[in-house]
Structure 1
Amino acid sequence: MDMQLLLVEDDPEIARVIQDTFIRDGYLVTWATTGLEGLEDFQSQSYDLVLVDLMLPEMDGFTLCKNIRWKSDVPIMIISAKKEDEDKVAGLNLGADDYLAKPFSLVELKARVESLLRRWRRYKGVPELNQMTNYTNGLTINWDQNKALIDGTEVYLTTKEFDLLKVLAQNPNQVFTKSDLYQHVWKQADAEGLHTVTVHIKSIREKLKDPVKQPYYIQTVWGKGYQFVGEIR
């Protein structure tokens, strides 16, 4: 089966060289020119590895890496002209697996990609986690079917509501700002969308019968955002 690569690079000359090189080697390559486009591509299909530039329009590479990590453990390699150690450390701390500074040789790039893919294939050999998670106070999330149930009865959540619940629940006790959530779920950087997040979180809480003052599942972190505090049983 062909390996699927996502390349997020706004320089067309560099992107075409990388894309042509990997296509010749039998890879399938999707090329995105902005961070938001890259996030949308990533969320729309499955990839085996992501190549990310740091200096991107609409959403920078650091933010893109963070968004990808909330959803997946797929290998991420940063390719960037930013050579400072703090940029490398920041990228790796956000979940990137490797960092290659421009200019680089295609031979080295291919070798590092192949190394990451070998590790990824070994990792994917581990059985998947249970597709159903049960929490105290009656909540069950079926990840496979995108369903939430309270005491065994399905709760109707819209697609956006489930996507919000999913990113929070799959990253428990991590604080997400409204901006983080809006970018990740709506794939837009518009600050006017922050009220939309508030409305959707309120709707989720009502449907899950989640008390605001002493929440079972979604806790407001005042001045920061929201975090998932549900306890697995």
Structure 2
Amino acid sequence: MAKLDLDSLDLAALLCSRVCHDVISPVGAIVNGLEVMEDESDPGMKDFALDLIRKSARQASARLQFARIAFGAAGSAGAAIDTGDAEQVAKGFFHDDKTRLVWNAERQLLPKNRVKLLLNLLVMAAQGIPRGGEIEVTITGDESASTFLIAATGKNARIPPHAQALLDGEPENDSVDAHGIQFYYAGLVARASGMAVSLDLEGDTFRLRAESE
């Protein structure tokens, strides 16, 4: 089957929708908190609203910093990115009571597209454990060849529908929607970085493996 060549405008629109989906909830909470601050005279309610604003602002900032590397043009063309920076934004992205991130990797510089792929695989891993759990990241190799192993463990772990076909650029019906763009985009980044991605499910653990071809 020939790989789908998604129109560049459609790809940009779907990626923008993906980023907005992550940011709109905390931004909406900030707006709600400000409205409470304006309308309430009760000090307890104002303190509650202020805590909500602080938490939501941190969450929105963390998600935007993550998106800047995972989807954006962080660094110049062909640049390398420090995996320590990737770890920092990933831990900010998953900083909640639902998912715990375990990072097993020494700090190193890797080609930009490989780091973008790594962060996108983390988002995919989270989709495989919708009830939350633990995501463990292991990086081996160096700038010449790398292997990423991500194990997402949680109750009712699953491989999201059509994930491998989307990664391979061969979606059903030759189309991609907002639900599938994450996997399709990760496949594009994987091929651009010379890496192959495979998925596996064993019990309550969803594994994603990417290695240099």
Report the TM range for the smaller structure's normalisation: under 0.3
The structure with the greater share of residues assigned to helix is 2
Superposition TM-score, scaled by structure 1 size: 0.26
Query: Higher relative CO (CA 8 A, sep ≥ 6), structure 1 or 2?
Result: 2
Superposition TM-score, scaled by structure 2 size: 0.28
